Each structure stands twice: as structure tokens, then as C-alpha cells.
Structure 1
Amino acid sequence: MRVQPQKWQAVCNLVPLPYRRVSVQPYHGPMTVDAITTLLLSREAYRRTDFIVLRGEGGQHAVAAITRAESEPLFSPITSVDVLALPETCVFAECPDVDPANRSALAEVAHELGVGPEGTLVVKGLYDHINFIHHPKPLVVGVVEVAPPEPPKLYGLARQVLSYADLPPIRLELERIEVRELAESVHPSAYLVPCRSGGLDDLPASVYFLDERPERHDWTMIGCERSLQFHRHFYGDEPPRVEMCPRLIAGERKEPTLLKCCLLETHIEQDKNIMVVPWGADLAMVEAALRKLSEEVEYA
């Protein structure tokens, strides 16, 4: 939920985009609201500047929002100043691999540095460009996914989406379902798993792969309902089985959650706080799911 307030001070998840709206200027003087306001009101600003990061002595930083008398002239007098952050709540970080135009990337750095909803983080990132996130309060989405592969596929897709999609700030928390641990919870003479995946070749018993349609053996299947349907079709019976469906293992959730289910094939589905995508979901499906989960998140 994008907001456009007249005053920015109380806004959460403020990330100016495009970041050419942010001017970075040296500052010599007291880092106080009155001193900063007085100085900036005596200046003019470029017509695309809406925010100013002041770089003071000793690595101190402050952030202010401004308005200009006019928007058409190249430069115009500053008419109002709203100081968003002083050094006590403003953290500066150099992160050369972080995209300063990416809300989620900035929110992730804020989390790593312990900058919470009362603080402001200024980042010097890719291409030496600078931007900030004010009052970071990203949506935390749990991603429930099986492993291997590495990284777990849905988690990898979600991270890729957050690298480019125009979404509110989102942080992903991976909840791994270890297929090896599921397999080692039983002690059969042989295992049947859905397909070949690194790390499952050296289980304590022989391993067969359902998608290769091997000859029937006395095995225990590590799989979900769809795998069971395949088994019925291939062999006409149901083997002992250990459930590996993320949707069933996750159960009901109070927190926003992203997971996949192979009973879905062509669409995504919402189940209260859970967004479910097909086992073979693509980036567009994952983006749509994250957008649905985050539609009530306040950001600017």
C-alpha cells in the first residue's frame, strides 16, 4: 500500500525512487533540527531534489525532506524542511553490492545492522550511488521449502523476484524441510523419491526415482499426494510413505508464508496468510504471490 503523505517523518519504509530525488551534501555545523532547518531554508534546490542527506564531520549523517517554491525552474528556493533523522538514529553503511534502488535490499541491510522501525539507514551502494530507507519495517515472509536442491528452489526464485520487482520491502526467512531427515526417520529396505536431486544418492538403503519408473521394489516412498497418484498409476498400489508436502507440513500459519504444492498446476492460491504456488512455479507466479502477501504493507 503505497502512501503519499505531506509529512514524511512518521512514514515507514520510505525509500525515495528514483534515487536522483536524493541529494548528498557536506555539512559543517550543529546536527540539530533548528540548525539544519535554518541552513537549508537559506538555500535553493535542484528541481528533482526532494530529500537531502547531510554528511557531517566524524561520519555523522542526517536526512531531511524538503519542498521547493517551484518545480519547473532548474533551481528553486527551498520553502520547507522536515528533518527525518539526526545522527542518533541515522546509520551510514557502505555496501558496494547493494542496489540502492531496491527496497528489499536496503531493508535487508537495515536488518543486518540492527536498524529498526525507529531508525534510518543511508547506504552507499552500487556505482557509489546513495539512497536511504527511513523507518524500515519490511514484511517478513516465511518460505517453506524442501531441500535439496541447494538453494531450495522456491526460496531462490523469491530472492530473484525481490532483486527486480517493484514491491514493498520484504524479508525472506527460509524454513527448510530436509528431505534427508524425512528419509532417515524410517528404516526401509529401499527408498523411492520423486526424482534425482543432489544429496539423496547415499541414503542408508537403495534409492529409486519415481520419475524413472523403476521396477517395483519393497520400498518406502518419500513423497506427496501427487507422487502417490503416480505410484498408483505405475504400479496399481500404495507403498508406505513419508509425507513431504510443504503445505501439509507447514499447517496453518499466523505469519505471511510462501510455499508450493504439486496439486496446483496452472495457478496460485491464497489460504489465509499462506500463498501457495505450483511445484513448477515460474518467476511471474512467485512475484504475484509476494505482491498479494504484501498488499497491505505501508511504504513510500
Structure 2
Amino acid sequence: MKPFDPFSIVIAINQLTDVVNQANQPNVFKDYIMPVFVVILSAITAYFIAIRGYQFQEAAKNERMKADTLNSIVLKMQTMQGNLIATKKNYFVKLGSNPMQRALSIPSMPSNLEPVRIPTNELAQLIYTKNTDIVKNPWLDFASYVSTFNNFNLLVNILNIRNGLVDEIHRQLAPLISGSGAKGEVSIEDAYNLLDETTKIKYIDLTENLITMIDDLLETLNDFMINFPLQTNGILNKKYLKNYVILRGYKNNSDVFLKLLERSPSVDLQQLGAYMKITEAEAKSRYVDNSVVITTPKL
């Protein structure tokens, strides 16, 4: 066993006393400056973390708002396209070239077509995110949406007016229909001779405008469904949209759908002019040349 050494104990106690005394001595940096510095540094760090978090939240909120607008526009356009396809199915295979036959071939069509509204502010924030050539990318131009939505709303109005007129025409044609047999078919000539002049002109005018506008809108909406996803590629920052559903248009390759996207058979402009009491050139200008179709230029 090691012998007891009192001197070593004294030395250890003296060293411990020096450490305690040194720790208890006042230190300006340790006691005053350091705590203040730590508090200030913590506050600055917390401030920048809060700013960074706020900026991230705002950026995420803006990107989600744009994504919601994109989804809303795609759904609106898809709904409009579906309603127009359903409407065109009522008459597409029946149309000939005679204006009166065309009018008689399109029945009254009660539908769920309702006017649509443009989300103006939200849409502007989406499509004007980056500078682009609107000639090459018409679906990044606000005017394209204004034109499409206004034409659709005008079509809804025309369809409703025509439906009311068809009901009146059926009353006028009742004597012919009652004696036309099980199919209820009447000859074009008999119907034309029975209707008064004003009603015939209005009937044919509304019919031709209806046919042209549905064809124009279907062509426009199909272009949107194909090209909108391409033109808006990169317009959203996916970093802020994890697990967020983004619609990318719609494409239907069924034979029936593609057939209905084709333009309707052309009207006989000479006969149309005669029925409407205008020249053939005026009929072409009014019912053919006034088409409004928005399409993306092919590169």
C-alpha cells in the first residue's frame, strides 16, 4: 500500500482553491458582453429564419394559387368542350347543304349550357408569369380567353333564343306534322311555304350561326387541350407543389369524338343568299368568313 502523503493533499487543496477563486473572480466579457451578444445573435438568427419561412410560405401560397387557376381553366375548357360535343351529336349526321333542311334537322336542345366567367386576376397572374411570344403561344395571351369565353356565352344565348323559336315553329308546322306519318317528317318545300318570311329568316340565321359557332369553338377548345400544357410548361415552380395535383389537359382519340371535331358540312351559299334575301357574296361574308378560331401556329 502506498504510504499516506499529507503534503500531496495540501497541494491538491491549494490547486482546487485557486480554480474556485479564479472562477469566482469578476469577468466583464463573460459576465456582461457575452450574454448580450448571445441574445442579440439569437434574435438576429430567429429574425432571418422567420423571414425565410414567411417568404417560403408566400411563394408556396402563390404557386398553389396559380396551380388552382390552371386546374380551374382546364376544367372549364373541358366542360365547355364536352357540352358542345353533346350538343353537336344531336344534328351532325343529319346536316345537308340546303339551309331550310339544316334548320329543320336541328331540334330544340335543352341543355346544361351556362355562361362561363373568366377568373381575370388569377388568370393574369398565371399566364403573365414569364415573357413569351403570344403569336406563337396564343394560350398565354389574355385576349384568347376573353374571345373564347365571350363566344361561348354568345352561343348559349343564341341556343336559348333558337330553342324558343323552334317551339313556335313547331306550332306553325303542326298541320303538316299531324299528317306526316309515324316519323313526323315534313318536306322542306311544304315547311318553307307554310312559315312566314320573318320567321324563316330568323330561323335560318340562328341555325347557321349556331352551326358555325359550335364548329369554331370545338376547334379552338381542341387546340387549347393539346397546346395549353406545352405552353404552360415551366410556368409553375414544382418545388412548392409537392403532392399537388396539376391537370395537364385532355385528349380523346375515340372515332366518334374525332368525327365530331370535324367541321359540319358546308351550306349552299347560293340557296342561303336566296333564303336570306342577300347576295351569295354577302352570305359568304356573314356566315363563313366571320369564323373566329384560335389555333396555335405550327412550327
TM-score (ref. length: structure 1): 0.26
- Structure number with higher strand proportion: 1
- Structure number with higher helix proportion: 2
Q: Which has the larger radius of gyration?
A: 2
TM-score (ref. length: structure 2): 0.26
